[in-house]
Amino acid sequence: MADFRAMTAVEVIEALRQSAPTLILLHKRPDADAVGSALALRLWLEAMGSPACCICADEMPEHLAFLGAGLQESLLITAVPAGFEGARIIAVDTASPAQAGELVPELEARVSLMIDHHGTGTPFADHYILPSAAASGEIVLALIRASDVAVTPRMATLLYAAISADTGCFRYSNTTTATHLAAAFLVERGIDTAEINRQLYEAKSLSLLTAEKAGFERLHFYESGRIAILTFPYALQQQLGLKDEHLGTLVDVARCVYGVEIAAAIRETATPGVYRVSMRANVDFDVAAVAARFGGGGHTRAAGATLTADDAERAEAMILEALLQAER
């Protein structure tokens, strides 16, 4: 495997000061950290003289449209946009090639820099990875500030949303002093934090609520209620008319129950026998290590993986067994 190098902040800023058309790649099933970080990165590069465009293997989810409004409604490109043929490519919030997804195929191999905060992953380019950062948005903000480019209210809105989202509105254990200081700096730029957090946490589509309702009905508890797992068959997703983006927060249905320490949501994909697993820990337990056993990864308390199993019961048994083994 090629050897990729860890870069310093100074090197990253120097590299990005060189103006060149730039494609910013974010992971499939994009979340607010990916979208917010990528769009802020785009505005920063544009301020330094580089035309930039964000690309993703999936469309902008409906609930994040407020972040892209007026900037970039669509993230999914099916062909390289005009003027970006030989563009440099930067990946953000994307820990491994599998997370990039089925993008215009030749792009992935051309990534020249990764900016990320995932501790477990497979670097696929020279990188600037800070696992201590709560969100990729925290890293992008620090880079912009160190570059002496002004952080505009627009950038601040994007970065605040990124940081708020990955910390569950500053509730999760990844929230540090640095996270709060970053947020305070962003609030000083005059942003509407109440509206951003309302969009992220309070406004839910009926489809999302439908997914949660079905999720609650499918919860299974183990180990006296310390472990909660739910499975979501693809047939049910189709029957309820739900898109993938409506199922991304199902694991919160499992993790919010009183007494639950470890939660998992397993959803069948359109490919029979292939399941997406999301895991969360409410206690000091490394779900990323469990995800890594299935070729996935993430953070200590939030991780994911893709696995193959004969059916949903088998997938649930595999995850339960892996969690119990890791606890021993």
| Site residues, ligand 5GP (CB under 6 A) | 95-96, 98-99, 118, 120-121, 251, 278, 296-299, 302-306
Q: Which does 296 bind (CB under 5 to 8 A by kind): ligand 5GP, Mn ion, none?
A: ligand 5GP
**Burial tier of 16 (Cβ tally within 10 Å: 0-12, 13-18, 19+):** buried
Nearer to Mn ion, 166 or 261 (CB): 166
Read off the tokens for 14. Answer: 């120097």
How many angstroms separate the CA atoms of 214 and 193, rounded?
31
Q: Which does 121 bind (CB under 5 to 8 A by kind): ligand 5GP, Mn ion, none?
A: ligand 5GP
Q: Which does 13 bind (CB under 5 to 8 A by kind): Mn ion, ligand 5GP, none?
A: none
Q: How far is the CB of 299 from ligand 5GP (least distance, A)?
A: 6
Nearer to ligand 5GP, 152 or 176 (CB): 176
In angstroms, the Cα distances linking 93 to 24, 26, 27, 120 are: 10, 6, 7, 12
**Minimal CA–CA distance to 148: which of 47, 54, 21, 51?**
47
SS (H, E, C) 178-229: HHHHHHHHHHCCCCCHHHHHHHHHHCCCHHHHHHHHHHHHCEEEEHHHCEEE
* Positions in the binding site for Mn ion (CB under 5 A): 33, 93, 136, 166
Give the position of tokens 């952080």.
Answer: 151
Nearer to ligand 5GP, 46 or 244 (CB): 244
Q: How far is the CB of 162 from ligand 5GP (least distance, A)?
A: 12
Q: How far is the CB of 236 from Mn ion (least distance, A)?
A: 28
Nearer to ligand 5GP, 34 or 87 (CB): 34
Nearer to ligand 5GP, 12 or 133 (CB): 133
Q: Would you say 13 and 147 are in contact if contact means Cβ atoms under 8 Å apart?
A: yes
Nearer to ligand 5GP, 231 or 278 (CB): 278
Q: Which does 36 bind (CB under 5 to 8 A by kind): Mn ion, ligand 5GP, none?
A: none
Q: How far is the CB of 79 from ligand 5GP (least distance, A)?
A: 26
Q: Which does 278 bind (CB under 5 to 8 A by kind): ligand 5GP, Mn ion, none?
A: ligand 5GP
CA 121-108-36 angle, 5° bins:
70
Nearer to Mn ion, 166 or 286 (CB): 166
Q: How far is the CB of 327 from ligand 5GP (least distance, A)?
A: 19
How many angstroms separate the CA atoms of 119 and 172, rounded?
16
Nearer to Mn ion, 186 or 236 (CB): 186
In angstroms, the Cα distances linking 294 to 57, 139, 185, 258 are: 22, 28, 39, 28
At 48, which amino acid appears?
A: M
Q: How far is the CB of 127 from ligand 5GP (least distance, A)?
A: 13
How many angstroms separate the CA atoms of 76 and 167, rounded?
26
Neighbours of 270 (CB within 10 A): 9
Q: How far is the CB of 288 from ligand 5GP (least distance, A)?
A: 7
Q: How far is the CB of 1 from ligand 5GP (least distance, A)?
A: 16
**Which residue number places its CB atom closest to Mn ion?**
33
